[in-house]
Amino acid sequence: MSATVTIDYVSHTFRGHREPTLSSVDARIEAGERVALVGRSGCGKTTLLQMMAGLLLPSEGVVRINNRQVTRPNARWNLMFQKACLYPWLNVRENVRLGCLFAGRTEGMEDRVDRFLELVGLGDRRDAPVQSLSGGQQQRVALARSLSLEPELLLLDEPFSALDTFTRGALQDDVAQIAADQDLTMVLITHDIDEAVAMADRVFVMAQNPGRVLGEEPIPLAFPRNRHAPEFSRVRERLMHRFEAASGLQSGNEAAETPSADTQPPPIRRAV
Ligand SMILES: Nc1ncnc2c1ncn2[C@@H]1O[C@H](COP(=O)(O)OP(=O)(O)OP(=O)(O)O)[C@@H](O)[C@H]1O
Ligand SMILES: [Mg+2]
């Protein structure tokens, strides 16, 4: 099962701040959809993701998952970070089990843990100490830990940014495939335009001061995606252009708002 996420005119001002970090963010993410959030550092991506995870309540507006207001964390909405955050004194299997134990999802736990370790390609490393694994393998353990809760919504905050290009590419493809196979709704924060094009169905481009969704770009490419295909490059170019336009807007460069006719992307469609 997968979740629907509705972000209803969400604004947020942190205590002690004069200006809002997020302003009137309005978006809907359909069940089973994979959405990427891109935007310059500090534009409020993590803040928005924390609201979807129930870790932060907006000052104004509402975040809903499956039409219910999000007021607290829930094991069905799983957040994965840049770092794997594993317990070094436990082995691979024990780390994954711990996620289920913390969430109270113990029924069928042993089978789920084995199934998802197999799925992320670590079936043969289940008894290994996590310290003996590479960074990419540790991130796979964290992924298995998230998946073993069988979440409806996977929230990913730059989960692959610390990895080398090849490991990152392999994990991007695997996670996109797993999300499709498990029918998961996925929201991915990334600074990497290629990662957004490789993994998402739709990309929200955010701008800052205040943080807002400036527009969106559909990624109409079938999975698995070929990074060397001309259509991949075309979509990347369009997204890059939109991203630069958003960056230009926030640095006060009005020229960037109106791209030249030959490179102009399709009109910005508000994420409603
Ligand atoms: N708990 C907090 N208290 C006060 N200010 C905060 C808090 N969390 C974030 N901010 C501020 O809100 C703004 C947005 O932060 P956020 O972490 O959401 O940005 P981001 O887009 O995820 O950036 P990055 O790409 O660098 O991770 C920043 O100016 C940050 O300093
Ligand atoms: Mg962030």
The residue with tokens 């996977």 is: 154
Q: Which residue from 48, 73, 72, 76 is spatially nearest to 61, judged by alpha carbons?
A: 48
| Residue-level pLDDT at 270 | 40
Task: Evaluate whether 249 touches 214 at the Cβ level (below 8 Å).
Answer: yes
Upstream peptide bond of 224 is cis (omega within 30 degrees of 0): yes
CA 51 to chain centre: 13
Asked whether 235 lines ligand 1 (CB < 6 A), one says no
- Give the sheet arrangement for strand 68-69, strand by strand: 22-29, 5-12, 60-65, 68-69
Nearest CA to ligand 1 atom 5: 14
Return the HEC string of 261-272: HHHCCCCCCCCC
Q: In the structure encoding, which two tokens stand for residue 203, read together?
A: 């990309």
d(CA 108, ligand 2 centre) in Å:
34
Q: What are phi and psi of 254, to 5 degrees?
A: -65, -30
| Residue-level pLDDT at 249 | 64
Q: What is the pTM of this model?
A: 0.88
- In the chain the domains, ranked by start, together with CATH numbers, are 5-76+151-263 (3.40.50.300)
The ligand minimizing its distance to the Cα of 81 is 2
Looking at the CA of residue 211, tell me the nearest atom of ligand 1: 14
Per-residue pLDDT of the chain in tens (272 residues, 90 and over written 9): 799 999 999 999 999 999 999 999 999 999 999 999 999 999 999 999 999 999 999 999 999 999 999 999 998 998 988 888 999 999 999 999 999 999 898 999 999 999 999 988 999 999 999 999 999 899 999 999 999 999 999 999 999 888 888 888 988 998 898 888 889 999 999 999 999 999 999 999 999 999 999 999 999 999 889 999 999 999 999 999 999 888 776 555 443 343 433 444 444 444 33
* Beta partners for residue 29, in sequence order: 5
d(CA 14, ligand 1 centre) in Å:
9
Pocket test for ligand 1, best of 47, 188, 191 (most atoms within 8 A of CB): 47
Task: Evaluate whether 4 touches 35 at the Cβ level (below 8 Å).
Answer: no
| Residue-level pLDDT at 29 | 98
Contacts of 179 (CB under 8 A, 6+ apart): 34, 154, 186
Looking at the CA of residue 191, tell me the nearest atom of ligand 1: 25
C-alpha to C-alpha distance for 244 and 236, rounded to whole angstroms: 12
| Residue-level pLDDT at 251 | 57
The ligand minimizing its distance to the Cα of 25 is 1
Asked whether 19 lines ligand 1 (CB < 6 A), one says no
C-alpha to C-alpha distance for 47 and 245, rounded to whole angstroms: 22
SS3 (DSSP) at 158 = coil
Q: In the structure encoding, which two tokens stand for residue 155, read together?
A: 């929230």
| Residue-level pLDDT at 265 | 42
What Rg value do the Cα atoms of the chain yield, rounded? 19
| CB atoms inside a 10 Å sphere around CB 156 | 26
Amino acid at residue number 69: Q
